[in-house]
Chains A and B, each alone.
Chain A
C-alpha cells in the first residue's frame, strides 16, 4: 500500500475518532464548565460596571473564549478513555498514535471554532466591524488548531483522572489569559509585561483580533500568524513525542 493511501486512511480514521469525541465528550460537565462557563464569567467579572467600548472588549472576549473552548476537549479524552477502559481497544486498532492525537485535536478544534462564533456575532451586533473577514476567519481557524494542540499537551502526564488534567489545564489557562493582552492591550502593558506576553500563543491571536477589529495591533499580522504556526508545530511535536512514552502507562 502506498504511503499516500496510508496517510489518507489515517486522516479518515482521525476524523472518525473526532466524531466519536464529539458525540461522547461535548456534553461532559468539565467541558461545559471549564470550556464555556469559566471564560464567560471571567469576562463578565472584568467588564460589568465598566463602560468599555465594544471594539476594546470584543477582541479579548473572542480570544479568551476561543482559548478556553479549544483547550477544553483535547486534554480530557485520553484520561477519560483510560479510566473508562476504552483506550486499550482503540490502541489495538490500525491507527497510529498520531492519528489518535489528531482526532482528539480535531474534536477540540471544532468545539473552539463553533463556540467562538457566539462572541463574534455579539460583537458584530454591537457594531464592531472586522476589517478583513477572510484574514480573521483564517486567524480563528489557525488559533483554534494551535490551542487544541496545546490542550493535548496538557494530557501528557499518564494520569487516568480527568480532574487532575483539568487542574493542570486551569493552572496554565488562567495565567495565560492575564498575560496575553486580553484585558489590557499589549500597547498599554509595561515592557516587561510585553516580554512575558510573547510566550503565550493567545497573545498573537488577540493581537490579530485587535488589529482587525480595533485597527490597533501591536505586531505586524505576518509575525502574529507565523508565531501561531510556530507554536502549533512545537505543541504537536511535543505531544507526539511525549505521548509515545506515556501512553503504555495508561492501560
Chain B
C-alpha cells in the first residue's frame, strides 16, 4: 500500500494501563475510501486503539498516522470525524447548537456551517426537532445527532466506536445505511464493533483483535472461508430434542441450541443433512426447517481467537 493510498497507518502500537497491556504491538493500515472494521469482544483493545488514533490518549510505543499526520496532531484531528463509544451530545443545548458548536471548533465558516447543519439534520431525520434540547431526544435520536456532529466538518476519515451499540433495530439500520452511504461517497471509515453481523455487512476488511493483539486481518468472506471445521447444519423440529442425542449422531462435532433451532457443527454438512432426515423419521419427529450453513464471521472469530490463545 503506497503512502498516498493510506488513510490510517499504525506500526507497533502499544499502550499499557497500570501494567496491563491494552494494546500489544499492533500493526495495520487502512486504505483511503475503505470501510475497515475492528472486531473484538469487550476489553479487546478496540476503544483504546480508537482513542490513540483520535488523539484522546497517547500510545506508550509505536506510531500512528492519520492522512499522513501524526495521530493526535491538530492536522490529523482536523480531517477526522469521531463518534466515541461512550459519547453524549450536550443535553442542555439544542440539536442545532450542538452541531453548530462542532462547526465552530472545526472553523467552518458560519454560512456554510448553517447550510451543512440543515442538510445533515434533515438527512438524519432531526430537522423538525433541531431547536429542542437534546435531553428531550430519544437514544436513537441522540446517536444520530452525534453522527451529525462528526460529519459537520466533512471529514476525510470517520472513526466510529460501536456506533450502533444499544440502539433499537430501526435506529441501528438507519445508522448502518448512513455509514454505507458515506463510504460509497469515498469516505474512509474506521469502525469498531463486537457485532459480527455488522462487521460482515459493512466492512471491506476486518481486523480481529483479542486481548490487545491483532489475530487476523482480511475481507470478511476470506476470513470465513479460511476457517475449517465450522460448517454447520441448522435444524428445527416440531418437538424439542435432547442435544445429547443429536451429539451422538455420526460426524457431529458440536451441538448448540439457539432458540428453537439446533446448530450441529460438522466437516461433512451434506452427509449430516441426510443423517438428520433419517434420524427424524426413526425418532418420529417432524423437521420444521433444515439449512446448511457456511462458517459465519462469528465462527471465524471463535476459531481464530481460540487458536491465538492456545486453547485448541
Contact = CB atoms under 8 A, between A and B. Distances in A.
A90 B106 CA distance: 11
A46 to B, nearest CB: 35
B74 A94 contact: yes
Interface in A20-38: 20, 23-24
A19 to B, nearest CB: 8
A92 B92 CA distance: 20
A13 B104 CA distance: 7
A251 interface: yes
A246 interface: no
Nearest to A89: B87
A23 B86 contact: no
A95 interface: yes
B243 interface: no
B106 A93 contact: yes
B146 A92 contact: no
Contact of A23 (B51, B89, B97): B97
B56 A9 contact: no
Interface stretch (A80-88, A132-140, A193-201): A80-88
A16 interface: yes
A93 B102 contact: yes
A92 B55 CA distance: 6
B78 interface: yes
Contact of B74 (A24, A96, A248, A251): A96
Interface in B153-168: 159
Interface in B121-178: 146, 149, 159
A12 interface: yes
A84 B93 CA distance: 13
B104 A86 contact: no
B275 interface: no
A145 to B, nearest CB: 22
Interface in B89-121: 89-93, 97, 101-102, 104-107
A20 B93 contact: yes
- Measured as residues with beta carbon below 8 angstroms from the partner, the interface class of chain B is 20 to 34
Contacts of B105: 13, 16-17, 90, 93-95
Interface in A67-120: 84-86, 88-96
Contacts of A86: 87-90
Contacts of B159: 92
A28 B102 CA distance: 23
Contact of B56 (A84, A85, A248): A248
A24 B107 contact: no
Contacts of B78: 94
A78 to B, nearest CB: 14
A6 interface: yes
Contact of B92 (A12, A17, A24): A24
B57 interface: yes
B206 interface: no
Contact of B77 (A20, A85, A93, A251): A93
Contacts of A20: 90, 93, 101
B82 interface: yes
Contact of B80 (A17, A92, A95): A92
B104 A85 contact: no
A88 B104 contact: no
Given A12-B104, A24-B93, A92 B149 contact: no
B91 A85 contact: no
A20 B90 CA distance: 9
Contacts of B58: 248
A73 B220 CA distance: 50
B54 interface: yes
Contacts of A23: 92-93, 97
Contacts of B107: 9, 12-13
Interface of A: 6, 9, 12-13, 16-17, 20, 23-24, 84-86, 88-96, 248, 251
Given A16-B105, A93-B77, A93-B106, 4 more contacts: A12-B107, A20-B93, A84-B90, A85-B86
29 contacts: A6-B74, A13-B107, A16-B101, A16-B105, A17-B105, A20-B101, A24-B93, A84-B88, A84-B91, A85-B87, A85-B88, A86-B87, A86-B89, A88-B51, A89-B82, A89-B87, A89-B149, A91-B55, A92-B54, A92-B55, A92-B56, A92-B77, A92-B80, A92-B82, A93-B105, A94-B77, A94-B78, A95-B105, A248-B56
Interface of B: 51, 54-58, 74, 77-78, 80, 82, 84, 86-93, 97, 101-102, 104-107, 146, 149, 159
Q: Which 9 A-B pairs have the closest CB atoms?
A: A16-B104, A94-B77, A92-B82, A94-B78, A92-B54, A93-B105, A85-B88, A88-B84, A24-B92
